[in-house]
Amino acid sequence: MESAKAVEIASELHSHGYEAWLVGGCVRDLVLGREPQDYDIATNATPGELLKLFPQAQLVGAQFGVILVDGVEVATFRSDHSYQDGRHPASVTFETDPRQDVLRRDFTINALLLDPAHLGSPAAHVVDYVGGLSDLENHVIRAIGDPEQRFEEDHLRMLRAIRFAARFGFEIEPATMAAIRKMHQRITRVSPERIRDELVRILTEGGARRGFELLDASGLLNDILPEVAAMKGVQQPPEFHPEGDVWIHTLLMLEGLQSPTPTLALGVLLHDVGKPGTFRVAQRIRFDGHVELGERIARDILTRLRFSNAVIDQVLALVANHMRFTHVHQMRESTLKRMLRMHRFEEHLELHRLDCASSHGHLENYEFAKSKLEQSPKEVLRPPRLLTGHDLIQAGYASGPDFARMLEVVEDAQLESRIHSKEEALELIRSMFGLPAPH
């Protein structure tokens, strides 16, 4: 357990005459009654002294005095100087006063100190130099000191402000929000990977709808996801979408997310991203081809943000298949079973549920597909193959482009329980494709 390890590390530092404070997000979460994801310790021990005390420690930021001890980050008090790349200080000064270390941090709620000996009653023993306890109590995200200076030091802090406000349901303090609105275009200087990671957190940590409303209000949305910003004002046919335009529909779906995987959340965000480019009116509003265009746009976005191929493939599958649920009652049994056995089908199902719940509210297709899935064990959806290409060759058929179609015909019949053996499969091939040509 990391909390026990943090207490042990702090005790070791104390026994050698050094200060040791829990700092950052772990103290914030403890005060809020949440379980911290990790624990960070700040100390007046220098990097050299830390390495003597913890010779097995892993150096993770030597120039900043940061080591990793059994999963706990331990850092020397420091002040930062002259940020030149919008991310890293050009130099640091190691400090002996914890107040100096706190003043370099991003937001007041992330700058609280706690002696690990008081984990059981954190709020009563927090050391607060910047008003973080008051901001936690009043549900406020506030930059430490001059907000523009904080965001100039690290441009990603603008996205972090949005994330914390969304996750905790807090308001961004007016001067902090004004600085984001003024400086939002600087986010384009941040690496795609860092933007990607913050976006995923906004989508998955809770409050995704609020996060995207704040991204929009701050100007950041148009900087990093202009294709999503383009959804605003794109009207939809009211008989199917009484809730409003594509943007409102997407926000409602984001609001409905419950501890989603990153791929599901991205699928929800991007499932209708092709609608702005395919809007037309013919008797009613139509979006012909929005799925195909959406796939191309989604691929561009996900590639630009350096997502892995596995994530891209799954999100594109969600976009590509989200309209197929409208046909589940009319599908052939083989087609439906192939759909039900798609990779991580539970994400397709949940996206469809959110899509319906956030528009017309009809869940008949969802309930039908869910019921069919529950009634179909794996061996029914993907039974052992009755025929292989080798079997076809042994039966006298010449290898060629027809093989794939032959095997598909056999699998269709098998999934529909029309055949049950290799002999029946070969008979079906002979009846549909003729006898093999003599050699």
Output the average pLDDT for the chain: 94
Query: By three-state DSSP, how is residue 236 classified?
Result: coil
Q: How far is 271 from 322, CA to CA, in rounded Å?
A: 7
139-224 has CATH 1.10.110.30 classification: yes
Query: By three-state DSSP, how is residue 140 classified?
Result: strand
Query: Closest by alpha carbon to 125, among 136, 137, 116?
Result: 116
pLDDT of residue 80: 78
Whether the pLDDT of residue 62 is over 70: the answer is no
Q: How confident is the model at residue 99 (pLDDT cuts 50, 70, 90)?
A: very high
b/e map of 234-252 (b: 16 or more CB within 10 Å)? bebeeeebebbbbbbbbbb
Q: Which of 107-111, 121-125, 275-279 has the lowest mean pLDDT?
A: 121-125
* Superfamily grouping for domain 1-133: Beta Polymerase, domain 2 (3.30.460.10)
Q: How far is 218 from 180, CA to CA, in rounded Å?
A: 6
Residue 2, CB half-sphere, CA atoms under 13 Å: how many? Answer: 16
pLDDT of residue 93: 84
In the block, tokens 């294709």 appear at 227
Q: In the beta sheet, which residues pair with residue 80?
A: 92
pLDDT of residue 59: 82
pLDDT tens column, 357-400: 999 999 999 999 999 999 999 999 999 999 999 999 999 999 88
Q: How far is 127 from 436, CA to CA, in rounded Å?
A: 85
Q: What percent of the chain has pLDDT over 90?
A: 85
pLDDT of residue 63: 72
Single pTM value for the model = 0.92
Domain map of the chain by residue range? 1-133, 139-224, 256-381, 389-433
